[in-house]
């Protein structure tokens, strides 16, 4: 019997690998292989056109610290991340809390809150270009109606990055609403009922009961939104192309610019791996700092 069970187990294992192997091969060819090739490329000099790719070692990585545009892109990425992540989480939590109740047409409201996720990032960029246009945009029309002069918004070095922050918060709010709404519906009603008997106000119940139980949702959104913020590209490409005076040049946009506009692929690959390492470190730190809050 044990030998029969062993043969069956090996047969099941072989069948499982046979079924998974096509997907594994595709992932290896189109996923893992390009990653390894780009790692090799980061130690070479390449323009993506000529077959010659001389080995330059760590020169591309040393160049990062000496590149003022890359340093500027880091600053813009940090500012964007510091505004986008907490902004999206706060707006999402507020909307989710408002929708975590039984009222008429609540399913319609929840669908409306999530609908922003159905809009592609390129479409979001086009929408905000129209809304903030200085001559015929609705935002400036509203400002003019209350006596405020038209603003350049995406054409302004001092305003463009913050408009992109507002645009992406709008675009990601639906995602955070769904996550928070699922977490809020998992909070035991008995805890709120007991607190109400003790005379706790709605705000006190939310602060002392609901918020501590949102730890897993907070951690998930914090990590996920941070990773996405550090990889901001589509919205910048669709609206400002780096912006006036490079005001919206973030890391991934600069990476794309070096690779596909200036054809400095080796340097762009080094930039990509530097960003990859930073994302790993930030994610590990976030998990470590948030562990005790999630466990509680």
Question: Diameter of the chain by CA atoms?
Answer: 88
CB of 196 closer than 8 Å to CB of 274: no
The pLDDT of residue 22 is 87
Q: SS3 for 30?
A: helix
- Once rounded to an integer, what is the mean pLDDT over residues 5-23? 73
Residues 184 and 96 sit within 8 Å (Cβ to Cβ):
yes
- Residue of 182, 172, 168 whose CA lies nearest to 96: 182
Whole-number percent of the chain with pLDDT over 90: 60
Altogether, the residues listed in the chain come to a count of 296
Strand partners for 55: 44
Sign of the torsion angle spanned by Cα atoms 113, 115, 117, 119: negative
Structure-token pair, residue 161: 């990055």
Is 1 contained in some domain?
no
Q: Is residue 286 part of a domain?
A: yes
Q: Does residue 158 lie within any of the structural domains?
A: yes
pLDDT at 292: 66
Beta bridge partners, 44, equal: 55
What does the pLDDT average to over 249-269? 96
> pLDDT band for position 7 (50/70/90)?
low
82-105: pLDDT as tens digits: 999 999 999 999 999 988 887 787
**156 — phi, psi (to 5°)?**
-105, 130
The residue with tokens 């760590």 is 58
Question: How far apart are alpha carbons 34 and 213 in whole angstroms?
Answer: 41
Instruction: Say what the pLDDT of residue 166 is.
Output: 96
The answer to which of 9-13, 17-21, 124-128, 164-168 has the lowest mean pLDDT is: 9-13
Report yes or no on 52 lying in a domain.
no
Q: What's the number of domains the chain is made of? A: 1
Domain membership of residue 162 (yes or no) is yes
> How buried is 160 (Cβ within 10 angstroms: 0-12 exposed, 13-18 middle, 19+ buried)?
buried
The closest alpha carbon to 250, from 133, 176, 165, 124, belongs to 165
Kindly indicate the confidence band of residue 284, based on its pLDDT and cuts at 50, 70 and 90: very high
DSSP code of residue 31? I
Structure confidence at residue 293 as a pLDDT band (50, 70, 90): low
Residue 150 falls within a domain, yes or no?
yes
Asked if the structure places residue 123 within a domain, the reply is yes
Are 249 and 243 contacting, i.e. CB atoms less than 8 angstroms apart? Answer: yes
pLDDT at 295: 52
CATH number (domain holding residue 126): 1.10.3720.10
SS3 73: helix
Pairwise CA distance, residues 260 & 253, whole Å: 10
Whose CA is closest to 41, among 272, 265, 277, 271?
A: 265
Q: How far is 257 from 259, CA to CA, in rounded Å?
A: 6
In-domain check, residue 42: no
Question: What is the domain extent for residue 84?
Answer: 61-295
Distance between CA atoms of residues 137 and 71, nearest Å: 33
């Amino acid at each position: 019997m044990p030998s029969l069970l062993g043969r069956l187990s090996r047969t099941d294992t072989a069948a499982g690998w046979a079924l998974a192997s096509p997907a594994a091969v595709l992932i290896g060819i189109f996923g893992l292989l390009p990653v390894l090739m780009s790692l090799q490329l980061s130690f070479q000099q390449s323009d993506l056109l000529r077959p010659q790719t001389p080995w330059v070692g760590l020169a591309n990585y040393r160049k990062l610290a000496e590149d003022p545009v890359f340093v500027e892109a880091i600053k813009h990425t940090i500012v964007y991340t510091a505004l986008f992540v907490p902004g999206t989480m706060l707006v999402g939590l507020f909307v989710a809390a408002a929708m975590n109740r039984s009222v008429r047409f609540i399913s319609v409201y929840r669908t409306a809150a999530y609908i922003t996720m159905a809009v592609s990032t390129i479409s979001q960029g086009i929408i905000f270009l129209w809304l903030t246009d200085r001559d015929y945009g609705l935002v400036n029309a509203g400002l003019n109606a209350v006596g405020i002069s038209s603003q350049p918004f995406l054409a302004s070095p001092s305003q463009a990055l913050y408009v992109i922050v507002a645009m992406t918060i709008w675009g990601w709010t639906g995602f955070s609403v769904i996550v928070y709404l699922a977490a809020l519906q998992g909070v035991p009603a008995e805890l709120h009922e007991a607190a109400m008997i003790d005379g706790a106000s709605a705000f006190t119940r939310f602060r002392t009961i609901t918020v501590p139980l949102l730890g897993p949702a907070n951690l998930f959104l914090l990590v996920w939104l941070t990773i996405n913020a550090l990889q901001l590209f589509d919205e910048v490409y669709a609206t400002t192309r780096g912006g006036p005076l490079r005001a919206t040049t973030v890391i991934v946009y600069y990476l794309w610019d070096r690779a596909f506009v200036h054809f400095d692929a080796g340097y762009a690959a080094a930039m990509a791996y530097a960003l990859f390492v930073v994302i790993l470190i930030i994610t590990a730190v976030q998990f470590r700092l948030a562990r005790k809050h999630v466990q509680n």
